Structure formats: structure tokens, C-alpha cells
Structure 1
Amino acid sequence: MGIAKQAATLRAARNSATIRTFHPAGTVKCDGVRLFRSQSARDVGCMLDVNPSVVSWRCMPMPFGAGGIAHVPDFQVFDEDGSTLYLDAPDRAMSVDTTLLATEAERLNARYRLLDRGEIYDGFRLRNAKDLLRYAATVTPLGDRLRLLAALDEHGSLPLAECLKAFQETRPVPGIASLILHGYVEVNLDDAPLGPETAVRRISR
């Protein structure tokens, strides 16, 4: 595929996405411009932000060819093990066989996957991720961070309601959400909606 065709394909895909806004607006691991083809694609981005093995991700990366067709994946994902993964959201209407896309990705030393709907919408993880990402722009002050981490060092884990008492310099809910999103503390996002009794633990570095 020529460079001119790649550029034209990418430009068309990104132009179609720029006119749409999807909730939530904030991200923490997106590298570059935030462009989402659909709400389903935005939901995948939420899941990538709360996946601890994901270092960063990009929206609508450069297309690659498969079966003579230029395909612009929804995401290019960079994992902590150094691998690269191209992803399409579950609502993607495919004009190319996914086997061909996987083969082309392998040629680029990467992998390709078309996600199943259940991977995104089953369980509570997406709901909890969206709740947290409302506060993606929050930066927790050093004092609040130190107070919470010291308390967790002392107790091992604490209910979320108790953790909120550590915040004196910023609002408690945005503060704890920021620390979760940026990998200072962890909570179980899968079993239930986040609540006062949710256990919070410090992440060992």
C-alpha cells in the first residue's frame, strides 16, 4: 500500500470521527489525539485505561493493507511486555476477513483482534471504568497521596469510605479516582460497582 493511499485512508477515517463526542471525555493512557469511531470504540478505550498491562494506546493508527484493502484499526495498543496489538471494537463492520488482518499484523510484529461484545459489556468493569474516568484530569496533591499510602502501608487494605478521610487538599472522590487510574492503589473493578465497602490496596512498585 502506497504512502498516499495510507494517508488518504487515515484522513477519511479520522475526519468521520472528529464530528462525534462520546462519554467519558477523559483518558489517562491515550497517546495522541482522542478520536473514536463510535461509542463502542470509546468503551474499549475506557477498558484499556484500566488494564494494568497496557502502557499506552493510540486511536486510529496508520492503516495496514489486507486483501488489497487499507484497514484503519480502532486502536494500536502497547503492552508492558513490549508487544503491540491492533484492536477493533465489537461493533466494527468488517470489510476484510479478520484472518487476513491477523496475518498482516504478524508481518508488522504485532497481533490483531476483533473484540467480542461480552469482553467489553459483561460484568461491572466498564461501568466502574467510566465512573473513574470522569476524574481523569485530576492530579492528586502529594500530601493527600502520602497520607493515603501511609495508611495503606499500616493497614494493608482499607474500605473506600475510610480512604476518603485521607484527603485534605483536594476533593476525596476525584483524589482517590486519580490514584486508582494512575496506578498508586488498586480496587476490584469486576465483581461489583464501586462502593463504600470496596477494598483499596496499595500497588507494590
Structure 2
Amino acid sequence: MSAQAILDLSDRRTARRPGARRALKRPVTPLTRNALIADYLAICGLDPEVETLRAPAEPATFAIGEETVEHVADFEVVRDGQSFLVDVVTDEDLQTHPLRAAAIHGISSLDGRAFIFETAATIRAEPRFTTVRLIMACKRTPVTAGDRVRVLHQLDEVGAMRLVDCASAVMNTQDGVAAVLALACEGLIAVDISRPVLPETQVRRRRLPYTDPFSF
């Protein structure tokens, strides 16, 4: 190939560069309040420290300066015998919430119930968010009566166990880990959701099964 032909080819390639296709960024789907509520309920269902959850909460009155404000929170959560009022809000809703300014420094209703916000930042914090998603993905895994009894009996006898060891008691389900985590979704087994799902993840029997606040 001649030198002129090489130069001509180089010019043609250069001319095509401005028209090269660029990867298009997919638009980010807005995070809705309903999505956050669904995630929050999944966390409560798997958190062994949550004793009960009521939706909506009983009406509460707050003293803000010289005024009193009545508010019905989304949820009333009982942890270790202590009640908390919880509102699940998007970042946009938080800006206009009537209790936002007071809650920055901590606020409780006149009857002593502490009020807190749950936002995208708190609900979807890692590694808990991914751990909850992985566990909930096993919710529909069928667990036979035999496997159910063996797993729960093993935990009754031994107490806390590693997830990989507990899954070894499963005989009739192809994925033993999924079977154990399915029982966690039922509120029968407690899993530490604050850490990633690993072979050494600790599981134990949950004495007080969590009750769905909506009675689904």
C-alpha cells in the first residue's frame, strides 16, 4: 500500500470517530415510598430483635416548642420491650415532614415512645440490604416436613450453628442453604442479617416467630 493510500485511510478513520456510538446511560428509576416500605418490612421480618410491629401506629402527640403536634406514624415497632414510632420516607418527603426538625436532635411522644425516620440510606445500608435480599429470595423454596423437623431439632439440641453445618441436615431439598433460609423467612430461624451470607453465618432457633402486621 502506498504512503498516500495509508494517509487517505487514516483520514477516513478519523472522520468516523465523532460519529461513534456512545453507551447510553439508563435512566435511574425513582425510589418510591412503597419500595422502601417493602424493604423495611422484610428487614423487620428477619430481625430477631423485633418482637412486634403494628401498622399504622397508634396516634401520638409530640411537644414541639410551645405547640403540640398530633401524628400517626407508619409503624410502631417493639424491640426488647421498648416501643418505637417509625416513619418510612423518601428523601423528598423528609424535607417537608412536620417532625423533621425536631427529630434531628431526637424526639419522643408524650407517652414516651421514641420517634425515628427510616430512609433509603438507613434501609438500604450494606451489607444488610444484600443479605436480606438473598434470604428473601429463598422464601418460596419448598421444605419438606422431614427436613423442617431435622433442621429445627438440630438447632434445639445444639443451639447456634454455622449455616453450612445446619444445611447439612437437609436431605430432601437440593439446596440445603436455601431450605434453611426459607425457614428464616417463616420466622422460625434467626439469622444475623447485619453480616454477609457466608458459610460461617450463625443461625439459631427463633423462639418468638415474627407475626406479619398486616395478617397476610
Once the two structures are TM-superposed, the CA of residue 87 in structure 1 deviates from its matched residue by 0.8
- Which residue is 1:121 aligned to? 124
| Alpha carbons of structure 1 residues 87 and 143: separation in structure 2 relative to 1, 3 Å | same
Which residues of structure 1 form unaligned runs of 5+? 1-35
Q: Is the 8 A contact 1:77 1:84 kept in 2?
A: yes
CA RMSD, 1 decimal: 3.8
Matched, 1:132 2:135: yes
Matched, 1:39 2:35: yes
- Which residue is 1:87 aligned to? 86
Q: Is the 8 A contact 1:77 1:86 kept in 2?
A: yes
| Alpha carbons of structure 1 residues 179 and 84: separation in structure 2 relative to 1, 3 Å | same
- Which residue is 2:48 aligned to? 52
Query: Aligned partners of 2:58, 2:161: CA distance in 1, in Å?
Result: 43
SS of structure 1 residue aligned to 2:193 = coil
State the AA in 2 paired with 1:87.
V
Q: Give CA deviations for 1:142-192 in whole Å, capped at 9, x if unaligned.
A: 432332245454696344376155142797455312322345444443332
SS of structure 2 residue aligned to 1:127 = helix
- Which residue is 2:76 aligned to? 76
State the AA in 2 paired with 1:80.
D
State the AA in 2 paired with 1:89.
V
* Higher alpha-carbon Rg: 2
2:180 to 137, 161, 176: 176
Q: Is the 8 A contact 2:73 2:86 kept in 1?
A: yes
Query: Aligned partners of 1:157, 1:134: CA distance in 2, in Å?
Result: 21
- Which residue is 1:111 aligned to? 114
Q: Is the 8 A contact 1:89 1:115 kept in 2?
A: yes
Q: Is the 8 A contact 2:46 2:185 kept in 1?
A: yes
- Which residue is 1:12 aligned to? none
- Which residue is 2:204 aligned to? 202
Higher RCO, Cα 8 Å, sep 6+: 2
Once the two structures are TM-superposed, the CA of residue 39 in structure 1 deviates from its matched residue by 1.5
* Matched-pair identity in %: 16
| Alpha carbons of structure 1 residues 201 and 69: separation in structure 2 relative to 1, 3 Å | closer
Alignment of 1:148-163 (within 5 A): 148-151=151-154, 153=157, 157-160=161-164, 163=167
State the AA in 1 paired with 2:126.
G
SS of structure 1 residue aligned to 2:195 = coil
Query: Aligned partners of 2:147, 2:165: CA distance in 1, in Å?
Result: 15
- Which residue is 2:17 aligned to? none
| Alpha carbons of structure 1 residues 139 and 60: separation in structure 2 relative to 1, 3 Å | farther
| Alpha carbons of structure 1 residues 138 and 70: separation in structure 2 relative to 1, 3 Å | farther
| Alpha carbons of structure 1 residues 37 and 118: separation in structure 2 relative to 1, 3 Å | closer
TM-score with structure 1 setting the length: 0.59
